[in-house]
Amino acid sequence: MVKSENDKCEKEPWRGQYYRLEEIQKHNHSQSTWIILHNRVYDLTKFLEEHPGGEEVLREQAGGDATESFEDVGHSTDARNLSDTFIVGELHPVSILSLHSVPDSFSWTNWVIPAIAALIVALMYRFYMSE
Ligand code: HEM
């Protein structure tokens, strides 16, 4: 049983086929529509017109990471099984890092909060020393 599952894994032709974000972003039009779901790359060009949720939602996500939108919809198991047939490869590890890196706004709070805390401590210190 376990062996047959492993065999299935090895036969998946897209495994080890890596694409960088810059490459995927080029496929953002109706002639070639790629999206990323859970770090895997999907070519949905031939599925656009058949998608029960409509063509438009897929077009909007074309060339980018659609994982959140895909999960928000709560796609059925059938939909997930169907999605496997469109996988063409995996997101390159370097692109995974850049896609999931900490957004700027977070690094901003990383220094703003300590700066405000330091200011409060400095003011308190001055206040008590002047007495
Ligand atoms: C490989 C990619 C995808 C496949 C194979 C797929 C397939 C399907 C299928 C089979 C359904 C019918 C309902 C179900 O069985 O869950 C559906 C509905 C839907 N999908 Fe997708 N989908 C994909 C990606 C997306 C993405 C990326 C979005 C959002 C940007 C999306 C948005 C929707 C919406 C809004 C519906 C309608 C839900 C409803 O009527 O309740 N889908 N999709």
pLDDT tens sequence across 5-43: 455 556 789 998 999 999 999 999 999 999 999 999 999
Q: What would the two tokens of residue 28 be?
A: 């953002």
Global pTM reads 0.79
Confidence of residue 61 (pLDDT cuts 50, 70, 90): very high
Q: Tell me what the pLDDT averaged over the chain comes to.
A: 89
Å from CA of 97 to ligand 1 middle: 27
Residue type for position 124: M
User: Any residues with Cβ below 6 Å from ligand 1, and which?
Assistant: 35, 42, 44, 51-53, 57-58, 61, 66, 69-70, 73, 75-76, 78-79, 82-83, 86
Residue from 103, 102, 98 nearest 39 by CA:
98
Higher pLDDT, 98 or 48: 48
> Residue 4's pLDDT is what?
47
